[in-house]
Amino acid sequence: MRPKKFFWVAATLLFCAVFAGCSDRKAAKTLYIKALECYEQKDFKSAGAFISQSLKFDKQNQQAKFLYAKTFFFQGQYDKAQEILLDLKKQNQDNKDIQLYLIKSLILDQKLDLALGQIKSAQKNDRGDWRLYQLAALVAAKQNDTEARLKNLGAACEALDGFAQVYFDLAFVWRSLGIESKAMEFEEKCLALDKSYSELF
């Protein structure tokens, strides 16, 4: 981080923490918004600094904790990300985003058996999520298990069956509302899954 940028982050943190003149919850929200802004700009180090301060004011903010985990994830600090994600998962068993980030973090950290365990655990509650099969196929590829890879990719294809129709319907609705950019987005997704829909657009 450049010296000027670091000074700006440090000064903002100090201002929010000391001179905010407001409740802890309001200070936490201000810092959280700053963290989101940095995160969207892919400045994960600054985002992490802001979110760390935010959590000092509001230790129970689940969204802030998840954002904190993602800042570590995108900096390649998978152990730190996993620690937060595992804690979040205990309190949010059905949160797909937390599950997926945890699994991806374990895979990238080469903890393949643990990743597979998390995948199987998630599949007990949802056998229709193609992303879980795709991640299982990725684990199989890293383990040089071609049979398991093919099996999981096949299951992912089955789970995706019908998605083309959903994307087609979404494209139709957005086009009827006059939002062409969104219509095109879903049209592309539809055709990527099933070219036969091209005659219908």
Query: pTM for this structure?
Result: 0.77
Q: Could you tell me if residue 61 is left (phi over 0), alpha (psi between -120 and 50 degrees) or otherwise beta?
A: beta
pLDDT (tens digit per residue) in 98-146: 999 999 999 999 999 999 999 999 999 888 899 999 999 999 999 999 9
- pLDDT category at 30 given cuts 50, 70, 90 is very high
pLDDT (tens digit per residue) in 144-194: 999 999 999 999 988 888 888 889 999 999 999 999 999 999 999 889 888
> Nearest Cα to 191, choosing from 177, 199, 42?
199
Where does 109-198 have alpha helices with state H?
A: 112-125, 130-142, 146-160, 163-176, 180-193
Which residue matches tokens 């903010």? 61
Cα–Cα distance, 14 to 120 (Å, whole number): 45
